Amino acid sequence: MLVLGGGGVLGEAWMGGLLAGYEDATGYKLADCEAFLGTSAGSIVAARIAAGRALPRPGGKADLLPTVPEVRFRRVPAAVDTVVAPVLNVAQHSLAPLAAAAAALRTPISSLTTPAAELALALSAPFAEAALGVTTPAGALARIAALKALPRASGTLGALRESLERQQLSFDGRLLVAAVDRATGRRVIFGAPGAPEASVADAVIASCTVPWLFAPVPIGGAEYVDGGVWSPANLDAAPVKRGTRVLCLNPTAGLRGPSAVLSLARNASRSVTGFEATVLKARGAEVSVIAPNREAGLAMSPNLMAFGPQEEVLAAGYRQGLALAAA
């Protein structure tokens, strides 16, 4: 099974490149996987693979046409300023019991005071979702509070929707897409038994809708936002049984840079996904979680929604995929 996490424009490029490199090195066609679970950018890649479409390779510029608006650093709304510190604080304390790696998150929130530009960076890129996506009860309360406090965004993902609709994709029992109900903060896995009826295009758009950047997506009388608000990869939602082999790509776990907020979000992403991997292993699954290596992580940081480094990130991901196959 393939589980693909959130990571914006550059996370999508890295995952596509890595998986293409892995295919080329092994000859294995990822479209033959028994199931795919995608979150945010990962849902785009998962839908592409499940539909049998070719992954992008270095030099294939036609495969890297922008499908979401580029997000530049900007001052975030005042309502976000008032909620982000308590949310980060809840995140770091809620994560601590989940994994030993969470010890890195215990920096007092007062030490994370940063210039407005750095705070805007943390909130404008999808890796900030790791700070909101805590699955403990305290994290759920923080998530609901944050979603209610955020001003209603007006941006849309129209170009991505048009691209998905042209492909006439459908849920075939293998594709799963994670999103979050904006009103309740609950996670929903579209394509899973009992989930609300939705088209693949609507589900993927919902999963990619970062709530402070884009308007929520209405599906079946409810409104949905980015699945990364719950978890960077939602790995624990993978339908596994004993012996299932799971490969999870987590773009936000490999970002690099000196920012304290970036470091916090990266460690939160690693800790949450590590805990979720432990849950699957307890069910008898074999789980491998891959993050961007140093080359790819440096190319991706700090703004995951920038188009400029796409080719560089794709190529770095491709080389990492080749290396992964040889390991």
Residue 256 has which token pair? 């690099």
Cα–Cα dist 250/273, whole Å: 8
Which has the higher per-residue pLDDT, 163 or 318?
Answer: 318
Mean pLDDT (the chain, rounded)? 78
Q: Within 13 Å and on the Cβ side, how many CA atoms surround 49?
A: 32
pLDDT for res 67:
52
pLDDT for res 302:
74
| Residue range 297-322, pLDDT digits in tens | 999 877 888 888 999 999 999 999 99
Cα–Cα dist 314/296, whole Å: 8
Residue type present at position 112: L
Residue 161 has which token pair? 């929707």
pLDDT for res 108:
29
Give residue 159's pLDDT band: very low, low, confident or very high (50, 70, 90): confident
Give residue 141's pLDDT band: very low, low, confident or very high (50, 70, 90): low
Q: Which residues contact 113 (CB under 8 A, 6 or more apart)?
A: none
| Residue range 185-234, pLDDT digits in tens | 889 999 999 999 999 999 999 999 988 889 999 999 999 999 998 889 99
Say whether pLDDT at 72 is over 70.
Answer: no
Average the pLDDT over 268-290 and give the result.
92
| pTM listed for this prediction | 0.80
Output phi, psi for 69, to 5 deg. Answer: -65, 145
| Residue range 77-121, pLDDT digits in tens | 333 333 333 333 333 333 333 333 223 223 222 233 333 333 333
Q: Within 13 Å and on the Cβ side, how many CA atoms surround 97?
A: 8
Write down the H helix ranges in the chain: 8-26, 41-50, 78-95, 116-124, 129-132, 137-149, 158-166, 200-208, 260-282, 294-300, 310-326
